[in-house]
């Protein structure tokens, strides 16, 4: 019998309860989530099982445009890694991954996971991967993603999640982007909080790619839980997938890791500026394809700009909107400006704030600026969307003296929806779970490349 998931000291108390039913639930594939990979037309499926079992991923194409397709279920075996989730007691879990390759854009894929004791529910995802949107700027196939940061379990996270999930299913979003601070924390209660979170999001993450970047709450043990549980695309500079980029139709999305610049993270490579050099190369390359793919959107956990009343609030908050932002502006702002990044989003502040196009702390005029529209912006538009639902709650009061570049702020829990319609039109809206409605919108329209 497999009992090594329990600390040996608890064994005498637990053994009598280890009946067959308990075994079956320990063998359940759980925390199922999918993500795009660094390769074209692939989907990675990740899940956990608390017993060491051999798992098969059964899958088949369905709803394809061409009915001569072979619709029979086939299977592949997963790879698994034994992981001790526990900080204080041993909690061994077996994290499985399997990658489906050569996916077809015109099909959906059904799949389920089976081991010799247990079988998961069946899930379905779209065979469209980032490359599938490459008829650049076809409004019939817009890129639609959900974006937010700072989402955990508990009543706040759950509130947002109820809406997010309904949206993800009914409105055909292509991906979810979670900009760090995940579960509060993945390692808490010997990893139980991470398990609970991944089970909470399973109804979305098992059917829509759940793409992440790390926040400060992932910092424990050099982001061990983050690296074990999320499997983001890798690149030759960062084999851990802690920063990466994706070309999706007319947009280039960059996921950065601001946490490596803080002392608590012991970056395993030569120097912190590895990422910065990677970013410059990545954006230079993106700019070489700017006509086909005009939009560049960068996300991190820590912001470069946020409004804050320095004299009203705690030292910690002052640092977040003060020293920290100045540090990151120094590192990144000129790169964003020179490389013509259209939009920058971050979390960390548990709030939603939409700013105008900014450079060096000043608003930069566009060809036309309305309250909810910029035509041909001349600098990066900055946003904070960090109110997914932290367990800590609202801890970022809105500024009573917002900066001139602040255009809208809100403290409601919720998330953003971005639609890149085509090469010229990008639309963003903020959905408030608290008010059950869209509370802010933004059109970015580009008729030419400024930068
Ligand atoms: C979230 O809330 C719903 C409805 O109140 C409840 O049924 C569900 O169990 C909660 N889920 C979590 C993960 O807390
Ligand atoms: C979502 O996709 C399905 C299958 O392609 C389609 O039938 C449905 O109309 C789409 N729903 C929306 C809201 O676009
Ligand atoms: C940025 O601009 C605001 C006015 O909007 C000003 O109060 C503030 O001191 C400036 N900060 C820096 C770092 O220059
Ligand atoms: C791009 O999308 C916008 C918004 O849907 C639409 O108004 C515009 O006509 C589209 N442009 C092209 C060239 O399809
Ligand atoms: Fe944070």
CB atoms within 10 A of CB 369: 16
Does residue 16 sit within a domain? no
- Domain housing 412: 132-445
Task: Answer yes or no: do 83 and 201 share one domain.
Answer: no
Backbone angles phi, psi at 279, to 5 degrees: -60, -45
Q: Same domain for 417 and 275?
A: yes
Is residue 404 in contact with ligand 3, taking CB distance under 6 Å? Answer: yes
In CATH, what number is assigned to the domain containing residue 35? 2.60.40.380
**Residue 366 CA to its chain's centroid (Å):** 30
Q: Quote the ligand 3 centre to 353 CA distance (angstroms).
A: 17
Tokens of 77: 């075996």
Assess if residue 8 is contained within a domain.
Answer: no
**Buried b or exposed e, range 107-140, using 16+ CB within 10 angstroms:** bbbbbbbbbeebebeebebbbbbbbbbbebbeee
Q: Is residue 19 part of a domain?
A: no
> Looking at the structure, do residues 121 and 146 belong to the same domain, yes or no?
no
Same domain, 52 and 186: no
* Cα–Cα distance measured from residue 241 to residue 212, given in angstroms and rounded to the nearest whole number: 10
Confidence of residue 322 (pLDDT cuts 50, 70, 90): confident
Tell me, what's the pLDDT at 12? 40
Quick: pLDDT tens for 61-111.
999 998 888 899 999 999 999 999 999 999 999 999 999 999 999 999 999
The closest of 303, 152, 129 to 233, measured between CA atoms, is 129
Same-domain pairing of 411 and 336: yes
Ligand 3 pocket check for 355: Cβ under 6 Å: no
Shared domain for 345 and 288, answered yes or no, is yes
User: Do residue 331 and residue 202 come from a single domain?
Assistant: yes
Q: Which of 97, 126, 155 is the last residue of a domain?
A: 126
- Asked if residue 17 is part of any domain, the answer here is no
Q: Which residue has the tokens 């904070």?
A: 384
**What are the CA-CA distances from residue 337 to residues 34, 364, 365 (Å)?**
33, 11, 14
Residue 51 reports pLDDT greater than 60: yes
CA of 130 to the centre of ligand 5 (A): 28
Q: Are residues 331 and 432 in the same domain?
A: yes
Instruction: Report residue 345 as tokens.
Output: 């989003």
**Structural domains of the chain, count:** 2
**pLDDT score of 11 more than 70:** no
CATH number assigned to the domain comprising residue 181: 3.60.21.10
Evaluate whether residue 14 is within a structural domain: no
List all residues 6 or more positions away from 123 whose beta carbon is below 8 Å from its beta carbon.
32, 110, 111, 112, 206, 207
Give, as one character, the DSSP assignment of residue 64. -
Q: Which of 92, 109, 126 is the last residue of a domain?
A: 126
Which ligand 2 atom is at minimum distance from the Cα of 171?
A: 13
Structure pTM?
Answer: 0.92
Same domain, 336 and 403: yes
């Amino acid at each position: 019998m497999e009992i090594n998931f329990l600390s040996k000291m608890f064994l005498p108390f637990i053994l009598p309860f280890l009946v067959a039913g308990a075994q079956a639930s320990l063998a359940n594939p759980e925390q199922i989530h999918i993500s795009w990979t660094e390769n074209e037309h692939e989907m990675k499926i990740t899940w956990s099982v608390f017993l060491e079992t051999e798992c098969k991923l059964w899958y088949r194409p369905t709803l394809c445009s061409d009915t001569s397709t072979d619709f029979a279920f086939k299977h592949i075996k997963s790879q698994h890694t034994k992981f001790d989730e526990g900080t204080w007691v041993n909690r061994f879990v077996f994290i499985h991954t399997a990658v489906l390759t050569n996916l077809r854009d015109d099909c959906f894929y059904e799949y389920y996971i089976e081991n010799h004791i247990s079988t998961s529910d069946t899930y379905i995802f779209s065979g469209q991967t980032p490359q599938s949107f490459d008829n650049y700027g076809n409004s019939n196939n817009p890129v639609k993603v959900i974006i937010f940061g700072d989402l955990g379990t508990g009543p706040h996270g759950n509130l947002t999640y109820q809406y997010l999930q309904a949206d993800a299913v009914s409105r055909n979003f292509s991906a979810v982007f979670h900009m760090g601070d995940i579960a509060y924390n993945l390692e808490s209660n010997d990893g139980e909080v991470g398990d609970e979170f991944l089970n909470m999001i399973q109804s979305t993450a098992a059917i829509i790619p759940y793409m992440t970047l790390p926040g400060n709450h992932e910092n424990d043990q050099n982001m061990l839980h983050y690296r074990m549980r999320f499997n983001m695309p890798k690149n030759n500079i960062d084999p851990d997938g802690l920063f990466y980029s994706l070309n999706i139709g007319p947009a280039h999305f960059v996921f950065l890791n601001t946490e490596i610049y803080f002392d608590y993270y012991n970056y395993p490579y030569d120097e912190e500026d590895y990422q910065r050099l990677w970013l410059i190369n990545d954006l230079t390359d993106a700019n070489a394809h700017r006509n086909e793919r005009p939009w560049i959107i960068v996300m991190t956990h820590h912001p470069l700009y946020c409004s804050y009343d320095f004299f009203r609030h705690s030292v910690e908050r002052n640092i977040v909107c003060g020293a920290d932002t100045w540090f990151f502006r120094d590192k990144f702002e000129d790169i964003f400006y020179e490389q013509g990044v259209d939009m920058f989003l971050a979390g960390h502040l548990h709030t939603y704030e939409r700013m105008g196009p900014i450079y060096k702390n000043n608003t930069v005029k566009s060809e036309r600026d309305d309250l909810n529209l910029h035509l041909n912006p001349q600098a990066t538009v900055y946003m904070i969307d960090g109110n997914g639902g932290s367990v800590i709650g609202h801890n970022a009061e809105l500024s009573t003296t917002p900066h001139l570049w602040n255009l809208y702020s809100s403290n409601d829990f919720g998330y953003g929806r971005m639609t890149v319609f085509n090469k010229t039109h990008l639309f963003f809206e903020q959905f408030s779970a608290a008010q059950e409605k869209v509370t802010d919108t933004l059109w970015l329209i580009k008729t030419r490349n400024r930068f």
